[in-house]
Amino acid sequence: MSSKTRDLSDGTGGAASKRPLLEVRDLVKHFKVGAGIVHAVDGVSFSIMKGETLGLVGESGCGKSTTGRALIRLIDATSGSVTYQDRDILALSKPEMTSMRKEMQIIFQDPFSSIDPRKTVGDTIGKPLYIHRVGTKREREDRVDHLMELVGLSARLYNKYPHELDGGRRQRVGIARALALSPSFIVCDEPVSALDVSIQAQILNLLEELQNTMKLTYLFVSHDLSVIKHLSNRVAVMYLGKIVELSPTLSLFKNTLHPYAQALLSAVPVAKLRRTRERIILTGGVPSPIHPPSGCRFHTRCHHKTPVCSEREPQLLDAGEGHFVACHLVHKV
């Protein structure tokens, strides 16, 4: 099944110049815990085109961060494949992966815990250059100066320590570090979730600017739908380790097909007096990923469930114009 889809996408990709930069097929990540196996990511497939932003959205525990981390092998996937420019990332040896990391970087959520408190700003940003032995010491320092300017950090902060910076500046340090090796692909793992709204807007604009000037490709992981909508070209909605809907951003927000995605979108509080979307309140919480429900994983909370939903798992299929959805209701035969 997986090889067939790959052939297909290779065929179309070759014809158009729209070749994906990164292709994920049937990615699975299970964690063994005392109580059993956590099905964190359970067969996720998607591709990311060069220069685009793919938003990955879902609630806590849906597997969005695990997916992001498995792509760049910060954690090792249980099975599946990740193809980056014709190379299978998951099959690379350790030194090969290390050099591949020049291409793929990550920006973390919490700027307080993702930066070494004992290193200065300059050292933190320059560390990737040092690890990959880029240039002389002098050249590296110049590069750090340039990076700091790029992300809007004043040069006088070079010798400061993280505790002397506020959250917004710390996140800029994290961004500068991710950019140090001029990667083409960056996983942004909730990069603005820990920030206040006025600072959040600054960082979002910075990420957009950088994408335009440096031709970056982003996987943007977030729980915040308004941020996802603002930044992404396409959006994938995850629920309990599966992608339930994957579509160009506007189409997803205008014509939401999956009942979970509909409920998720309707639940977002809007800072407006009159909301256009009717609110759908889901009952109960997310089931345990140790014992995910049979069939469609959302059927336990779905308002539209039919008998087939608990029996057969829906496939993620195209409902027209690249709008993919995994729901028996949409793909009625």
Strands (DSSP E) along the chain, which ranges? 20-33, 36-49, 53-57, 79-84, 87-88, 104-107, 185-189, 217-222, 234-239, 242-248, 317-318, 324-325
Neighbours of 148 (CB within 10 A): 21
- Smallest gap from Cβ 231 to other proteins, in A, equals 8
Binding mask 153-172 for other proteins (x = CB under 8 A): -------------x-xx---
35 binds other proteins (CB under 8 A): no
Q: Does 60 bind other proteins (CB under 8 A)?
A: yes
**Residues 75-114 vs other proteins: string with x where CB under 8 A?**
----------------------------------------
207 closest CA partner among 220, 197, 195 = 220
Task: Figure out which of the listed residues 229, 248, 310, 330 binds other proteins, where binding follows CB under 8 A.
Answer: 229
Q: Does 275 bind other proteins (CB under 8 A)?
A: yes
221 binds other proteins (CB under 8 A): no
Closest approach of other proteins to the CB of residue 210, in Å: 15
Q: Which whole-number Å values give the CA distances from 67 to 78, 104, 245, in the listed order? A: 11, 14, 15
Pick the binder of other proteins from 272, 278, 321, 333 (CB under 8 A).
272
Q: CA-to-CA distance for 323 and 86, rounded, in angstroms? A: 25
**Which CB atom, from 161 or from 253, has the smaller least distance to other proteins?**
253
Among 5, 154, 226, 306, which residue interacts with other proteins (rule: CB under 8 A)?
Answer: 226
Angle at 127 between CA 126 and CA 130, to 5 degrees: 90
Q: Is residue 198 close enough to count as binding other proteins by CB under 8 A?
A: yes
Tell me whether residue 17 or residue 276 sits nearer to other proteins (CB atom): 276
- Considering only CA atoms, which of 63, 102, 57 is closest in space to residue 268? 57
> How far is it, in rounded angstroms, from Cα 185 to Cα 286?
31
From 97-105, 136-144, 276-284, 292-300, give the range in contact with other proteins by CB under 8 A. 276-284
CA 65 vs CA 41, 123, 142, 158, 219: distances in Å: 10, 27, 33, 31, 10
Please choose, out of 48-56, 66-74, 112-120, 260-268, the segment that lies near other proteins by the rule CB under 8 A.
260-268
273 binds other proteins (CB under 8 A): yes
DSSP 210-231: HHHHHT-EEEEEES-HHHHHHH
Which residue from 133, 271, 278, 333 is in contact with other proteins, where contact means CB under 8 A? Answer: 271
* Contacts of residue 320, Cβ cutoff 8 Å, sequence gap at least 6: none
The site for other proteins (CB under 8 A) is made up of 59-60, 166, 168-169, 196-202, 204-205, 223, 225-227, 229-230, 250, 253, 263-273, 275-277, 279, 281-283, 285-286
